[in-house]
Structure 1
Amino acid sequence: MQRRLIIFSCTLTLIGCTNHRIDEVLDSTSLSSTKAQTFVYECADGFRYVARIEADKAWVFLPDKTLALSPVSTADGRAYAMDNYSFLIQGDQASLASDQVEHTNCRNNHAKAIWEHAKLNGIDFRALGNEPGWYLEISKKTALKLVTDYGQRSYRFNASTIEADQHSRTTVYKASNADDRIAVTITGTSCQDSMSGETFSATVSVVLNGTSYSGCGRALH
């Protein structure tokens, strides 16, 4: 069985990459800002869009274009505008309008927004599991972050070695620091989350200091 060390192309060569217009403006947004908010708005008319709210700008990602809107005064909520577009957030609802169309009664899908937020923050791959709840994020090609026990414990590894087996479509990350040791195995097979029923493109297993976690994940870039 042939194995080799690999350098990332997208996130995981073995399970493929995802494409989205958000990628086109990643370098223009404040990815390092922890105060930025990301929403996935689903509207009453079936329209769906991603919005990224920063201190001085609102990014709205549409199917055919990306809007960079500036704050404007409003009596209620938060309002943004650019050319003939206006974007208004009032509580848990939002509306997006232009000269041609208006999308109203748009509500945030929190579960999807978590993944879009991670993508806009530069995360390459994300995985999660249950009982107890945990999630894993891979960024900068080899940096690992594992959060366990429903957010109570966090582990960071600045760099990891990567080993891939093309035959089994498996990628293994191994890393350690002064206190902890981790091994992450990502396999390019379909995986269904045990709680939500959502289907993911990869099956993920994590071993942290001898404790095993299993779950599902997908590449974000």
Structure 2
Amino acid sequence: MSRHAPLRLALPLLLALGLSGCVTYVSAPAPEATSSAPEAADPAQDAASAKAKAPLLPSMLFPGEADELVGWRCTPAQDLVTAATEEELRLWSAQGGTRLAPAVVASGARYQQGDLSLWNKGREALVESQRGRLDCRVDVTRDALTRAEHPGVMFRGQGNEPGWHVALANDVPELTMTLDYGRREVTLPYRVTTLDNDAGRVILASGQAARPFSLRIEAKACFDDMSGQPWPARVTLSLNDRVYRGCGQGIAP
């Protein structure tokens, strides 16, 4: 993960764990506008864009060295996502994401950052902060995306109804959109309009004025609205007066 910009630990983002509402599951996109998707990109794209390097994305969009993402259902109502290794635990809620370091515990595994802690044993976990506690249980797990599965891709986002996905190239600022269950695909250059490492947020816009789009990526717990699978990022793609909402994950080399 050394290639990606570090994220300063943001404890306030998760202090409201015990009082906040449920994570909102991604919803189906709004009805399709009549305008069509942009045509395939011209092979002779702007030379300056071709030579540019892909940006360094916030590290909390990635699961770190973890091989698995875990979705938790908690009481009071709150859904969390975690990715754990022996060195750290990455935790995402509706408010954002943060890292917790291992702490001494008699049994199970315990992680802590300031007043925020997570202790888990088997399929159960206890999350505590200054504002309360959450009793959680594993709901669903999935394997983290890898570069071997998605060569050349630094970040992938996807959604449903109709099926779509976006892929950010790992070397140059280019984005490939695949829409309508794979029937439409376009690759375009992009520019970064917002990059907030502390909040784990990045907003991209089209690099071609004639083919506008925007892509918003946020490090927050996200659950696929069909499979329920957990993800560390929420993704919003705006294209041709239509909004696609889904989940995503950064993919490290």
User: Normalization by structure 1: what TM-score?
Assistant: 0.49
Structure with the bigger RCO (C-alpha within 8 Å, sep 6+) is: 2
User: Normalization by structure 2: what TM-score?
Assistant: 0.43
